[in-house]
Structure 1
Amino acid sequence: MTLIRPDLDTLPAYVPGRTVPGAIKLASNEVAEPPAQPVLDAIGRAAAGGNRYPDLGVVELTARIADLHGLAPERIAVGCGSVTLCQQLVQVTSPGPGSEVLFAWRSFEAYPIVTQIGGAAIRTVPLDAGHRHDLDAMAAAITERTRLVFVCSPNNPTGPVVRREEFLRFLAAVPRDVLVVLDEAYAEYVTDDDAVHGRPLLDEHPNLVVLRTFSKAYRMAGLRVGYALASEQVATALRKVAPPFGVNSLAQAGAIAALEHREEILAGCADVVRERERVAAELRGLGLAVPPSEANFVWLPLGGRSADFAAHCAGQKVIVRPFPPDGVRVTVSTPEENDRLLAAAAGFDAAGSDDGQPSS
């Protein structure tokens, strides 16, 4: 007799980016700058009430998000980071064995974890040769057991976006009783005019959920705040399975302040985009393949040499994130830190790399 679910022995572990004293960390897609000063001020004021429980209903922050996106508050669900909302989405759609959750691979590494925790089966479809979602193949992979589909755009860790027309075609092919989750964690960095944006599609597609986060462009990764835009039915279900007081008082106050100062905070995204294009171009000049990225990172499809590249960079005090056997993700940071990455990459023997196609 065992006290613990035996399937947890096979649960893949979420691997955080390494932090090495004295080294530059480009492994976790964090923003190098701290939260904006108004956010820090709001956090400080909220800390004085740390003896009290946070607002269970996240009422004020929900109202601010609803106003930003032009939705009723009843269609918003706020969570402890968008990754927690991913887990809640599995819980509300997949009633255990016999249910399937579908996503591209390689994509966000939390998807298989939250799927298995929720008791559903994992079904994956390989990325295409351009390291993009193959939405036609994903639509064809849907079965009567499929309850939920994750689509990550821009895709983490490879960077390309899903285009609007292909996503509309995909939505038309998906049965109405299958929930489609468009994970837009990096939306603020997107400059491609053809990229899909989920909010305008919500009213016509009640089986669509859009996920956003304060972790990236708002520079609040350590505070853990994300949210879902959805139908009232789905948002209500998400709130039902949310852990009580999951979004703490400091996080709520910081996120409200971030929305109040949204324009000045998000102005920094333009700097990231400029550096993203510079870093990608210089890496290509070194002979490394870099697919187009619309996020705050770039992808090096080094295949079997991914671990070698990461070890080489670590030797130069630059920490990147390998995903063997597919590739390496590198966060775009400040010009100075990016220069350190480029100097390290210049010493790597790119000629020995393979084509880095994603594994199935």
Structure 2
Amino acid sequence: MNITDHDAARTADRLTRSVAGTVTPRPALSLLPTYAAGKPPRPAEGLTPYKLSSNENPLGPVPSVERAIASVDTVHRYPNPGAEQLRAALAETLDVPVEDIVTGTGSLGALTQVISAFAGTGPDGVPDEVIYAWRSFEAYPIVVRTAGAQDVPVPVTQDGRHDLEAMAAAVTDRTRVILLCTPNNPTGPALRHQEVVDFLGKVPRDVVVVIDEAYQEFVRIEDPVDTLALYREHPNVVVLRTFSKAHGLAALRVGYSIASPEVTQHLRKVAVPFGVSTLGEVAAIASLEALDEVNSRVQNLVQERQRVRDALIDAGWNVPDAQGNFIWLPLRDHAGDFAHEAGLQALAVRAFDGDGVRVSIGETEANDRLIQLCKTYTRTS
């Protein structure tokens, strides 16, 4: 289609919409999947309901964080534009330059900044490409397509791991960003440091490689990815982290990216001003000051995760290596049925139709009820 034909088509489309009297979104929105948040549990007689569908921390924040939040008396004032105090605290805790940190509304907000800055539709009208493993975090295709880029999902292996060899082979001249999710949400396995080092050696240096580690505090494997070392060695690496999971601050939406100045200078241009609230900043700083308590709570959840996984494996279930605060049941076409049965037991779990069910590690009673369900559950034909 030449420019004249293109303009004529746009004019005809606008006339059609004007006559119809409707306001319509841009066509790209019709291609977006809808993000499905974890649903709350349904009540069941005689049972305490538990939400195991959103990977929330059932223990909540440590007490000092709750006190810090209660002390805030400036909610009528705008927060710090770039969460400067939090960035300073993170820089000291992580031993990185403060200029290398950009905050966002959770790690998803930080990811949106990266995609907005580095991937979209090129001057030639052809979309850039963003590679990620699939199944992985369901917001990935939404963020990528909203920016006008083309998502390139690469299937995970049978045991729910990133197929890094296939992801490297998927790189083209149009590739602008690659997303690595470790531990992978929702399947659970985490990447190892050496395999990521090898992967980076196959990726062009002008391609941004995002390592999304929202659950990194829960990882307990040999040779875990040292993302801070990787970002120091590779200017194209961006690390994403959040206070939503281990720190129990999901409702306050505090996340951040760590990257070299040649990356962060662009992220700040697309960052939403005042993205992190005063409550969020105060809470996150207080949580950093209580890291020993936070890590102790995380360890409790890790032990509970292992208990649940061991029990399910003993019951004959195939449960991939779980390194987040959740487990994955690869039920495929039975995912919806299992979620229904869990609902009858007042347990809300997260079903991914055709793939499986993700179950967050929750309160001990909730985990016990899940184990019992799995022991008695019979797959429908």
TM-score, with structure 1 as normaliser:
0.95
Single out whichever of 87-96 and 117-126 deviates more from structure 2.
Answer: 87-96
Counterpart CA distance in 2 for 1:34 and 1:272 is 12
Counterpart CA distance in 1 for 2:135 and 2:74 is 42
Counterpart CA distance in 1 for 2:291 and 2:316 is 38
- 1:205-354 to structure 2, matched below 5 A, reads 205-350=234-379
Counterpart CA distance in 1 for 2:376 and 2:314 is 13
Q: What SS class does the counterpart of residue 203 from structure 1 fall into?
A: helix
Which residue in the other structure is 2:71 paired with? Answer: 45
Which residue in the other structure is 1:76 paired with? Answer: 101
Q: Does the 8 Å contact 1:318/1:344 carry over to 2?
A: no
Q: Does the 8 Å contact 2:42/2:348 carry over to 1?
A: no
Single out whichever of 98-107 and 31-40 deviates more from structure 2.
Answer: 31-40
> Are residues 1:26 and 2:84 paired?
no
Which residue in the other structure is 1:139 paired with? Answer: 168
Counterpart CA distance in 1 for 2:356 and 2:82 is 41
> Are residues 1:175 and 2:200 paired?
no
Q: What SS class does the counterpart of residue 168 from structure 1 fall into?
A: helix
Q: Percentage identity across aligned positions? A: 45
Q: What SS class does the counterpart of residue 34 from structure 1 fall into?
A: coil
> Are residues 1:118 and 2:118 paired?
no
Counterpart CA distance in 1 for 2:325 and 2:134 is 20
Counterpart CA distance in 2 for 1:203 and 1:31 is 30
Q: Does the 8 Å contact 1:313/1:345 carry over to 2?
A: no
> What's the offset of the Cα at 1:21?
4.9
Counterpart CA distance in 2 for 1:86 and 1:57 is 16
Task: Give the root-mean-square deviation of aligned CA atoms.
Answer: 1.3
Single out whichever of 177-186 and 266-275 deviates more from structure 2.
Answer: 266-275
Single out whichever of 139-148 and 238-247 deviates more from structure 2.
Answer: 238-247
> Are residues 1:35 and 2:61 paired?
yes
Pairing partner for 1:165 from 190, 194, 197: 194
Pick the structure with greater CA Rg.
2
> Are residues 1:5 and 2:26 paired?
yes
- 1:182-193 to structure 2, matched below 5 A, reads 182-193=211-222
> What's the offset of the Cα at 1:346?
2.2
Which residue in the other structure is 1:357 paired with? Answer: none
Q: What SS class does the counterpart of residue 201 from structure 2 fall into?
A: helix
* One-letter amino acid of the structure 1 residue matched with residue 261 of structure 2: E
Q: Show structure 1 runs of 4+ deviating over 3 A.
A: none
Counterpart CA distance in 2 for 1:337 and 1:130 is 26
Counterpart CA distance in 1 for 2:113 and 2:82 is 16
* One-letter amino acid of the structure 2 residue matched with residue 303 of structure 1: R
Alignment length (residue pairs): 351
Residue-by-residue CA offset, 1:92-144 (whole Å, 9 max, x unaligned): 10132420111000000110010011110010110012210000100000100
Which residue in the other structure is 2:229 paired with? Answer: 200
Residue-by-residue CA offset, 1:13-44 (whole Å, 9 max, x unaligned): 11110013542110000011222221111112
Counterpart CA distance in 1 for 2:190 and 2:132 is 15
Residue-by-residue CA offset, 1:246-280 (whole Å, 9 max, x unaligned): 11110011001011111112211111111111101
Single out whichever of 170-179 and 8-17 deviates more from structure 2.
Answer: 8-17
Structure 1 unmatched ranges of 5 or more: 354-360
TM-score, with structure 2 as normaliser:
0.90
Counterpart CA distance in 1 for 2:31 and 2:155 is 21
Q: Does the 8 Å contact 2:82/2:275 carry over to 1?
A: no
* One-letter amino acid of the structure 1 residue matched with residue 26 of structure 2: R
Single out whichever of 1-10 and 35-44 deviates more from structure 2.
Answer: 1-10
Single out whichever of 90-99 and 174-183 deviates more from structure 2.
Answer: 90-99
Q: What SS class does the counterpart of residue 179 from structure 2 fall into?
A: strand
Q: Does the 8 Å contact 1:77/1:236 carry over to 2?
A: no
Residue-by-residue CA offset, 1:40-59 (whole Å, 9 max, x unaligned): 1111222x101100000211
Pairing partner for 2:37 from 16, 20, 32: 16
Counterpart CA distance in 2 for 1:152 and 1:9 is 26
Which residue in the other structure is 1:156 paired with? Answer: 185
Residue-by-residue CA offset, 1:230-253 (whole Å, 9 max, x unaligned): 001211211110111111110011
Counterpart CA distance in 1 for 2:284 and 2:115 is 25
Q: Does the 8 Å contact 2:207/2:236 carry over to 1?
A: yes
Counterpart CA distance in 2 for 1:98 and 1:117 is 11
> What's the offset of the Cα at 1:334?
2.2
Which residue in the other structure is 1:85 paired with? Answer: 110
> What's the offset of the Cα at 1:285?
2.1
Q: Does the 8 Å contact 1:29/1:331 carry over to 2?
A: yes
Counterpart CA distance in 2 for 1:210 and 1:198 is 7
Which residue in the other structure is 1:98 paired with? Answer: 127
Q: Does the 8 Å contact 2:50/2:346 carry over to 1?
A: yes
